[in-house]
Amino acid sequence: MEALRLEGVSKRYGRKPVLEGVNLAVRPGEVYALAGPNGSGKTTLIRLVTGLAFPTQGRALLLGEDVHKSPTARRHLGAVVEAPAAFYPYLTGRENLRLHAYLAGVKEEARIPEVLARLRLLAVADQKVGSYSLGQRQRLGLAAAILPRPKVLVLDEPTSGLDPEGVELVHGLLRELAWEGVAVLLSTHHLQEVSAYAHKVGILGGGRLLEEVALSGKEAYRLEAHPLEGALALLKALPQVASARLQGGAIVFEGDKDAALRALLREGFRVEALGPHRFDLLSYYQERVKHA
Amino acid sequence: MLRLFVFELYKLFRLRSVGLGLLFAFLLPFLWALAPGLKEVYGLVLASGWQVVSLSLLAGMEFLFPFLVVMAASESLGSEVAQGTLKSLLLRPLSRTHLLLAKLLAVLLYPFVLLGVSFLGGLLAGLPHGLGAFYGGTGLGEGGFAGVGLLSPEMALAELLKAHLLAGAVLLPLASLALLYGSVFLSTTASALAAVATLLLMRLLVAFPALTPFLLTTYLDLHLRPQAAGLGLALLLIYTLGFALLAVLVFERKDL
């Protein structure tokens, strides 16, 4: 079962559509990054998933439970929906977490120092949140989100306002949580950073999910050959090649590179270059949004 | 639920409007006790400390206490929206109805605390005038401030306690109304303004005599008319519950 699922979710404010028919699913252990220009509906989508806003159509399910019908569905959820995360400024970081622990039904006392340590906040845990820097508040937000050991983590711009060490800390934490089986949905403008560990990227534009790009982790190769079209047709016909497509005057393919090279040379194609291909998510995203 | 209510109460008493309100409620009696123009304006010469307590209640209930209660109830929701903590709370497996009910209970307790502080301030400010038996009245019973003879401290205390409790009941629907508008507008200012405007509009409806017995505004002086408490209290309770129910219904489906 998917940990998080959106089924035909639409949202209108008056007559203005903000999101239209969005379907997406995030499996346990998967990191799904939402990308899109400002105003594309990322924040609205995050608010709908977390139950803070209500869809005009469709539904949002957390481990099969409709988040808008049953507040208890949120027992699986950890989320930060604002940057920086909001806390009571007159309470200390530890007291704020204690309140969240109570609301989330966390009974383990040791869990609070554990998450504070994980987010490197122990030194300021007993200071009032009003004196925290933006980065410290953002990290405290993440600490509160992971406090109840959620199965689904939803984050809106989790690295916003963080210094490079903070960014690295957050990425490391998300990678670790995904490895432990937590489904992570995050919105971001920093595609290069998340492409290192995200499994899927959803590109939003004009309130629609334009495309889902699977960052499979399989090795891909970039081939420059002549004539290009013929080489592409050959690769597509080879059983050792899983996929092949044209990209920027070259062929990008997944599969056995030695078998592909042998076949190309046997058929008389002139091979000018063959090497590993690093998927440039940012360029792909820019191209996709431009043509949307 | 009890812990949530206690936390809501704690947050309520951290609000600026509540802090200022309690300060004003405490200081107002001292102002009245020292006011040089009481005789000229009200034809009153203070004969007892008990009269300072009642004078503060009467003056406060004119506008200040209703306004402070409306502000506090509006801010209890509006401040959470403004600082973003409402979203953090609702990301937890907590029902919106429970949260709003905890807030409602806290803001319904506030009028009694406010009036209690005013009462205490009145007693302290009235000490120099004495709190023993006196010839005159509290202004809340028979004969007004002139009274009908000797008034014992026990009778004065009973009259004042009854009037303060009735005044507290009068303020309950106002708190509930402000919370309703808070749920609609999610803003302290808009909610307080809407609640005050609603009361002013309701006052204008006295031009429709058939409606008058059922208007909330007809009973805003119930502390002065304890004989009307039967129907008055029932209607105030209905208004309080009605506004609270509407607030819950609105809040349940409100986008944040």
Query: pLDDT tens, A196-226?
Result: 788 888 988 888 888 888 876 667 888 999 9
Q: Residue ranges of the alpha helices (H) in B127-152?
A: none
Q: In this complex, do A86 and B87 lie within 8 Å of one another by their Cβ atoms?
A: yes
Looking at residue B53, what is its pLDDT? 94
pLDDT tops 90 at residue A195: no
Residue A15, pLDDT score = 86
pLDDT for the residue A40: 85
pLDDT at A246: 85
Asked if A75 is an interface residue toward chain B (Cβ–Cβ < 8 A), one would say: yes
* Angle in degrees, CA A87, A90, A91, rounded to 5: 65
The confidence score (pLDDT) of residue A290 equals: 67
Complete domains list, chain A, with CATH: 4-214 (3.40.50.300), 220-290 (3.30.70.100)
Nearest residue on chain A to B7, judged by CA atoms? A99
What is the band of A31 on the pLDDT scale with cuts at 50, 70, 90? Answer: very high
Substitution target in A99, A137, A185 with the highest count of B β-carbons within 10 Å is A99
Among A45, A103, A152, the strongest candidate for a mutation testing the B interface, having the largest count of B CBs within 10 A, is A103
Is residue A255 scored above 90 in pLDDT?
A: no
Q: Which two tokens stand for residue A189?
A: 């403008």
Question: What is the pTM for the complete model shown?
Answer: 0.84
CA–CA distance, B165 with B162 (Å, rounded to integer): 5
Task: Between A290 and A85, name the one with better pLDDT.
Answer: A85
**Whole-angstrom distance, CA of residue A154 vs CA of residue B104:** 30
**Are A87 and B93 an interchain contact pair (Cβ–Cβ within 8 Å)?**
no
Per residue in A69-88, pLDDT (tens digit) is: 988 899 999 999 988 889 99
What kind and span of H or E run contains A242? strand A241-247
Indicate whether A98 pLDDT > 80. yes
Flag whether residue A129 sits within 8 Å of chain B, measured between CB atoms.
no
Alpha-carbon span B208 to A33, nearest angstrom:
61
Name the percent of chain A in helix, strand, coil, to the closest 5: 35, 30, 35
- Cα-Cα-Cα-Cα torsion A176, A179, A183, A187, nearest 10 degrees, comes to 50
pLDDT band of residue A282 (cuts 50, 70, 90) is low
Supply the pLDDT for residue A271.
Answer: 92
Length of chain B: 256
CB half-sphere exposure, A65, CA atoms < 13 A = 16
Residues B111-136: pLDDT tens digits? Answer: 999 999 999 999 999 999 888 888 88
pLDDT value at residue A289: 67
pLDDT at A288 over 80: no
| Cα B252 from chain centroid (whole Å) | 27
A275 has a pLDDT exceeding 90? no
**Cβ–Cβ below 8 Å for B92 and A74:** yes
What is d(CA A287, CA A22) in angstroms, rounded to the nearest whole number? 21
Which pLDDT belongs to residue B73? 96
Question: What is the spatial distance between Cα B202 and Cα B108, in angstroms, rounded to a whole number?
Answer: 21
Stronger pLDDT, A88 or A288, i.e. the higher one: A88
Which residues in chain A are contacts of B8 at CB distance < 8 A?
Answer: none
What are the chain B neighbours of A87 within 8 Å (beta carbons)? 85, 88
Is the CB of residue A104 less than 8 Å away from at least one CB of chain B? yes
Burial (CB count <10 Å: 0-12, 13-18, 19+), residue B61: buried
Rounded to whole angstroms, how far apart are CA atoms A177 and B195? 48
Contact A105 B93 (CB under 8 A): yes
pLDDT tier at B18, thresholds 50, 70, 90: very high
Q: How far apart are the first and last CA of chain A?
A: 31
Q: What is the pLDDT of residue B187?
A: 95
Rounded to the nearest 10 degrees, the angle between the axes of helix A93-104 and helix A134-146 is: 30
Q: Give B136's Cβ-side CA count (13 Å radius).
A: 18
Q: What pLDDT, on the 0 to 100 scale, is given for residue A138? A: 92
Rounded mean pLDDT, A237-258: 87
Q: Could you give the CA distance from residue B220 to residue B204 in angstroms, rounded to a whole number?
A: 14
Nearest chain A residue to B15 by CA distance is A90
Tokens of B14: 């951290």
**Where are the strands (E) in B92-191, listed by range?**
134-135, 150-151
> How far apart are the CA of A116 and the nearest CA of chain B, in angstroms?
18
Q: Does B96 touch chain A (CB under 8 A)?
A: yes
Q: Is the per-residue pLDDT at A280 higher than 70?
A: no
A179 near B CB under 8 A: no
Residue of B10, B18, B91 to mutate, testing the A interface (most A Cβ within 10 Å of its Cβ): B91
Q: Taking CB atoms and an 8 Å limit, are A53 and B255 in contact across chains? A: yes
Tokens 């190309």 identify what position? A264
Q: Considering CB atoms only, which of A47, A82, A144 is closest to B84?
A: A82
pLDDT at A52: 94
ipTM topping 0.90: no
Share of chain A above pLDDT 90, in %: 59
pLDDT attached to residue B149 = 85
CB contact (8 A) between residue B91 and residue A54: no
Give the tens place of pLDDT for each residue, B140-158.
Answer: 888 888 788 888 999 999 9
Instruction: Quote the CA–CA distance of A49 and A158 in Å, as a whole number.
Output: 16
Of B87, B72, B20, B254, nearest to B177 by C-alpha is B72
B195-229 pLDDT, tens digit per residue, is 999 999 998 888 888 888 888 888 888 888 888 88
Sequence letter at residue B196: V
Nearest CA in chain B to A67: B93
The per-residue pLDDT for A216 is 65
A152 to chain B nearest CA, in Å?
Answer: 12
Could you report the per-residue pLDDT of B23-47, keeping only the tens digit for each? 999 999 998 888 888 778 777 888 8
Asked whether the predicted pLDDT for residue A278 surpasses 80, the reply is: no
Query: Cβ of A81 and B90 within 8 Å?
Result: no
